[in-house]
C-alpha cells in the first residue's frame, strides 16, 4: 500500500521537471540577474518617468501636472544650452578614438624602453577625473597658466578659456579627451597584439605598406577594439559631469552645463528643489542614450548572428 504511494508521486514530480528542464534551467540561472536588473534599472527608469509628470520638491506632496515640465523644457534657454553642449561633447569626444589609435601604433614597436613610454601614456587614465579637472584649470588660468605662457611666446592671447562662454565647453572637452584618449590607446594596444602576422606578411608580399597597409589590413582587424572604444567614448561623453563640476561648476553663467549637470542642479544641488523637472531632464537624456543603446545592441546582435 505504502509502496504504491511512494513509487507513484516521485515519478509524477520528476516527469514534470524532466519535461521542462531544458526550458526552465536557463531561467533559474538568469533569475537573480533579472531580478536585480528589474529592481535597480527598470524600476528606477519607470520611477523617473513617473516623477517627471509631477511638481515635487522632494519633501512635500507631489502634484500631478501632466506634461507641463516638458512644455517648460522646450522654452528653457538653459536646457537648450545643455542639450547643445551635450552634442558638442558627443562629437568632439570621438576624437579620442583616432587619437588613441595613433598613439597605440606609435607605441606598438619593439624598441628598448618602450614600456616606460607605454606606462606614461597610460597614466592619465589612472588619474581621477577630479585631478584631471584641477590640473587643467591651472593649465588654463588666464594670468599664471601654462597655456597662456605658451601662446604668449608666439604673440597670441592671453585668453581666458574657462571664463569665456564661447571657449569654456571646448576647454573642458579637451581636458576630458586626455584620459579618454589614453583609454582608447589601451584598447588598441590590446587589439594590435591580436593582429595576425601572417596576414601582414601576405599583404607585404602583395606590395602593401604605410597607409594602405594600415587602412586595408590593420584597421579591419581592429574592428572589435574600435567598437568597444566607440561604446565607452559615447557613454563617457553623455555622462560627463565631474570635469564640469570641478572646472567651471557649470559657469560662466551656466554656459558649460550639460544635461546631467543641469539635472543635478535642478533636482539635487544646494538650490535644487524641483525633482519633477530634474526627472524630465533625465528622461530626455535617457532617450538620447536609448538611441545609442539600441544601436549597440543591434550591432552586437548582427555580429553574433554572422558567426
Partner 1 sequence: MFQRTKTLVAVLAATTMLSGAAFADGHAKLSGDLKIFLDTSNPAPRATMEKMIADFGAANPDLNIETTVIDREAYKTQIRNFLTADAPDVATWYAANRMTPYVSAGLFEDISDLWAEPEIAENLASTKGAMTIDGKQWGVPYTYYQWGIYYRKDIYDELGLSEPTNFDEMKSNCQVILDSGRKCYTIGSKFLWTAGGWFDYLNMRTHGFDFHMEMARGEIEWTDDRVRETFANWRELIDMGGYIDNHQNYSWQEALPFMVNGEAASYLMGNFAVAPLREAGLSDDQLDFYQFPSINPNVELAEDAPTDTFHIPANAKNKDNARAFLRFVVSADVQTEINNGANLGQLPVNAKASVDDDKFLKEGFAMLSSNSPGGVAQFFDRDYSAEMAAEAMQGLQEFMVIPDNLDEILARLEKVRVRINK
Interface pattern 225-254 for partner 1 (x via CB under 8 A)? -----------------------xx-xxxx
| Residues recorded for the chain | 307
Asked if 27 is part of the footprint of partner 1 (rule: CB under 8 A), the reply reads: no
Locate all alpha helices (DSSP H) within 38-95, ordered by sequence. Answer: 43-51, 68-74, 77-93
Nearer of residues 15 and 47 to partner 1, judged by Cβ: 47
Question: How many chain residues are in contact with partner 1, going by CB under 8 A?
Answer: 27
The C-alpha cell at 307 is 558567426
The closest of 28, 207, 34, 184 to 105, measured between CA atoms, is 184
CB of 49 to partner 1, least distance (A): 22
Asked if 142 is part of the footprint of partner 1 (rule: CB under 8 A), the reply reads: yes
Cα–Cα distance list, 299 to 12, 177, 228 (Å)? 45, 25, 11
The C-alpha cell at 249 is 561648476
CB of 50 to partner 1, least distance (A): 19
Q: What whole-number distance in Å separates Cα of residue 106 and Cα of residue 189?
A: 10
Interface pattern 66-95 for partner 1 (x via CB under 8 A)? ------x----x------------------
Cβ proximity of 100 and 187 under 8 Å: yes
Asked if 154 is part of the footprint of partner 1 (rule: CB under 8 A), the reply reads: no
Q: In the set 3, 8, 12, 60, which binds partner 1 (CB under 8 A)?
A: 60
Q: In the set 12, 29, 111, 143, which binds partner 1 (CB under 8 A)?
A: 143
Q: What whole-number distance in Å separates Cα of residue 119 and Cα of residue 167?
A: 31
Q: In the set 262, 265, 282, 284, which binds partner 1 (CB under 8 A)?
A: 265
Asked if 141 is part of the footprint of partner 1 (rule: CB under 8 A), the reply reads: yes
The HSE-up count of residue 97 (CA atoms within 13 Å, CB side) is: 21
The C-alpha cell at 14 is 520528476
Binding site for partner 1 (CB under 8 A): 57-60, 72, 77, 137, 141-143, 160, 162-163, 248-249, 251-254, 265, 268-274
Amino acid at each position: 500500500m505504502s509502496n504504491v504511494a511512494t513509487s507513484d508521486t516521485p515519478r509524477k514530480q520528476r516527469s514534470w521537471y524532466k519535461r521542462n528542464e531544458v526550458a526552465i534551467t536557463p531561467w533559474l540561472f538568469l533569475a537573480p540577474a533579472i531580478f536585480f536588473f528589474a529592481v535597480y534599472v527598470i524600476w528606477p527608469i519607470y520611477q523617473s518617468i513617473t516623477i517627471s509628470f509631477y511638481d515635487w520638491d522632494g519633501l512635500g506632496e507631489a502634484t500631478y501636472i501632466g506634461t507641463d515640465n516638458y512644455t517648460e523644457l522646450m522654452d528653457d534657454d538653459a536646457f537648450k544650452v545643455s542639450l547643445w553642449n551635450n552634442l558638442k561633447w558627443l562629437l568632439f569626444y570621438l576624437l579620442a578614438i583616432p587619437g588613441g589609435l595613433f598613439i597605440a601604433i606609435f607605441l606598438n614597436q619593439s624598441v628598448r624602453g618602450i614600456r616606460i613610454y607605454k606606462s606614461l601614456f597610460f597614466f592619465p587614465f589612472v588619474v581621477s577625473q577630479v585631478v584631471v579637472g584641477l590640473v587643467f584649470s591651472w593649465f588654463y588660468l588666464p594670468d599664471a597658466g601654462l597655456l597662456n605662457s605658451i601662446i604668449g611666446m608666439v604673440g597670441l592671447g592671453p585668453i581666458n578659456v574657462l571664463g569665456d562662454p564661447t571657449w569654456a565647453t571646448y576647454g573642458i572637452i579637451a581636458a576630458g579627451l586626455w584620459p579618454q584618449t589614453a583609454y582608447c590607446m589601451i584598447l588598441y594596444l590590446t587589439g594590435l597584439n591580436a593582429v595576425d602576422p601572417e596576414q601582414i606578411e601576405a599583404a607585404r608580399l602583395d606590395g602593401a605598406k604605410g597607409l594602405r597597409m594600415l587602412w586595408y589590413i590593420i584597421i579591419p582587424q581592429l574592428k572589435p577594439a574600435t567598437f568597444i572604444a566607440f561604446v565607452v567614448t559615447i557613454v563617457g561623453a553623455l555622462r560627463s559631469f565631474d570635469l564640469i563640476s570641478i572646472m567651471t561648476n557649470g559657469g560662466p553663467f551656466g554656459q558649460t552645463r550639460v544635461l546631467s549637470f543641469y539635472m543635478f542642479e535642478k533636482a539635487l544641488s544646494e538650490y535644487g528643489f524641483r525633482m519633477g523637472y530634474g526627472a524630465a531632464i533625465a528622461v530626455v537624456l535617457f532617450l538620447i542614450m536609448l538611441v545609442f543603446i539600441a544601436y549597440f545592441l543591434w550591432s552586437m546582435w548582427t555580429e553574433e548572428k554572422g558567426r
